[in-house]
């Protein structure tokens, strides 16, 4: 199947009282790859990767609650936290009857996917971590303002983070550390910002900044899962990322000696500029382990 011939479907399904939007491609009988995006993006970040993988895999990419085109009804009374997001994605996986799947984890997708793995280790066939962190040594200095908010969740510290929510802050995450910023499509950060700017969404994102501390507290549990289950793992990493720095990729080898670690001359959103290289690494890796 050529990339040009790949048909991507855009669907919605109700899971956990949430209308989850997702992209899907590839034959249903193929091994499943679940793509989990991060902040401040959506499944749109996988728009080029999905056709690359769909010939060999059944590829599914949901929008997490609070992001993209996933809709959370007001009367659902949703409390935005990473535990809640993981619960919704677990329900999404159950509704689609996905018994086993590899996970691609990026940024917020890492604690989401790894919480799934803690709950159902038997379901996860492999992990691809693209700047998806699970170790304290992987947290770069760019986290300092957010860590200050964790230590003192005052209104002043909350408001200090609002610059992250602006178009300038969103674009910066895409282009910082990217040697060739012209390779980053402007519709990527422009779409992200349009969705971030929906009424009430800024407060959701600030709540999630605060709750990210709950993921750091789970790092020892994630690491125990790695040691006990030894999932096949590929860490393919933009080495210039100031949020999730290279030691976080190398750290996987402490708990999974067979982990494959590859660095790219890219920033946080390495998939934007190095999509073909990342796709090739994923296909080579999954071809060996699945």
Q: pTM of the predicted model, to two decimals?
A: 0.97
Average pLDDT over the chain, rounded to whole?
97
Query: Residues 166-189: pLDDT tens digits?
Result: 999 999 999 999 999 999 999 999
Segment 146-163, tens digit of pLDDT: 999 999 999 999 999 999
Evaluate whether 164 touches 242 at the Cβ level (below 8 Å): no
Which tens digit of pLDDT belongs to each residue from 232-253?
999 999 999 999 999 999 999 9
* Residue found under tokens 């390779």: 183
Q: Span 17-35, mean pLDDT?
A: 98
Percent of the chain with pLDDT over 70: 99
Tell me the Ramachandran region of residue 102: left when phi exceeds 0, alpha when psi lies from -120 to 50, beta otherwise. beta
Q: Which helix (H) or strand (E) holds 203?
A: helix 201-229
Tens of pLDDT, residue by residue over 254-286, are: 999 999 999 999 999 999 999 999 999 999 999
CA distance 268 to 175: 8
Say which residue, 5 or 25, is predicted with more confidence: 25
Per-residue pLDDT, averaged over 53-58, amounts to 97
Residue 185 covered by a domain: no
pLDDT at 3 (0 to 100): 61
What mean pLDDT is predicted for residues 85-94? 98
CATH code, domain with 221: 3.40.50.1820
The closest of 180, 195, 170, 191 to 275, measured between CA atoms, is: 180
With vertex at residue 135, the alpha carbon angle to CA 35 and CA 158, rounded to the nearest 5 degrees, is: 85
Q: Is residue 273 part of a domain?
A: yes
Structural domain range at position 40: 3-142+215-289
Cis peptide bond N-terminal to 40, omega within 30: yes
In 152-274 the beta strands, taken as DSSP E runs, fall at 233-238, 260-264
C-alpha to C-alpha distances, 231 to 106, 228, 245, nearest whole angstrom: 17, 9, 22
Query: Is 228 among the domain residues?
Result: yes
pLDDT at 148: 98
pLDDT on residue 249: 98
Cα separation, 10 vs 54, in Å, equals 14
Residue 166 forms part of a structural domain: no
Q: What totals of helices (H) and strands (E) does the chain contain, helices first?
A: 12, 8
pLDDT bin (cut points 50, 70, 90) of residue 5 is confident
3-state secondary structure of 78: coil
268 given a catalytic annotation: yes
Residue 18 pairs in a beta bridge with: 15
Domain assignment present for residue 129? The answer is yes
Catalytic residue among 37, 44, 58, 268: 268
Torsion over CA: 241, 227, 88, 157 (sign): negative
SS3 184: coil
Report the number of distinct structural domains present in the chain.
Answer: 1
Residues 6 or more apart whose Cβ sits within 8 Å of residue 15: 88, 91, 92, 94, 95
Q: Select from 172, 167, 114 the least CA-distant residue to 142.
A: 172
In a domain, 108, yes or no: yes
Angle between helices 186-196 and 167-175 (to 10 degrees): 140
Cβ contacts of 93 within 8 Å, gap of 6 or more? 34, 101, 116, 123
DSSP helix/strand/coil, 105: strand
Percent of residues, the chain, with pLDDT higher than 90: 98
The answer, yes or no, to whether residue 4 has pLDDT greater than 80, is no
């Amino acid at each position: 199947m050529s990339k040009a011939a790949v048909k991507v479907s855009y669907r919605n399904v109700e899971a956990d009282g949430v209308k989850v939007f997702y992209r899907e491609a590839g034959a249903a009988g193929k091994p499943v790859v679940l793509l989990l995006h991060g902040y401040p993006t959506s499944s749109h970040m996988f728009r080029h990767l999905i056709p690359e993988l769909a010939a060999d895999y059944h590829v599914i990419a949901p929008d997490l609650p609070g992001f993209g085109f996933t809709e959370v009804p007001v009367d659902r009374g949703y409390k935005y936290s990473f535990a809640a997001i993981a619960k919704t994605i677990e329900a999404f996986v159950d509704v689609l009857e996905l018994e086993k799947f590899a996970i691609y984890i990026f940024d917020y997708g890492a604690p989401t996917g790894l919480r799934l793995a803690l709950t159902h280790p038997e379901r996860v066939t492999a992990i691809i971590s693209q700047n998806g962190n699970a170790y304290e040594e992987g947290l770069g200095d760019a986290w300092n303002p957010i860590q200050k908010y964790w230590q003192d969740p005052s209104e002043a510290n909350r408001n200090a983070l609002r610059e992250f929510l602006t178009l300038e802050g969103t674009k910066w995450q895409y282009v910082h550390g990217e040697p060739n910023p012209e390779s980053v499509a402007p519709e990527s950060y422009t779409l992200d910002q349009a969705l971030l700017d929906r009424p009430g969404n800024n407060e959701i994102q600030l709540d999630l900044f605060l709750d990210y501390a709950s993921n750091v507290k789970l790092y020892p549990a994630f690491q125990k899962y790695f040691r006990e289950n030894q999932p096949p793992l590929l860490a393919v990493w933009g080495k210039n990322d100031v949020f999730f720095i290279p030691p976080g990729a190398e750290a996987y080898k402490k708990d999974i000696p067979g982990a494959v670690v590859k660095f790219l001359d890219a920033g946080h959103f390495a998939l934007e500029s190095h999509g073909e290289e990342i796709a090739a690494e994923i296909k080579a890796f999954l071809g060996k382990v699945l």
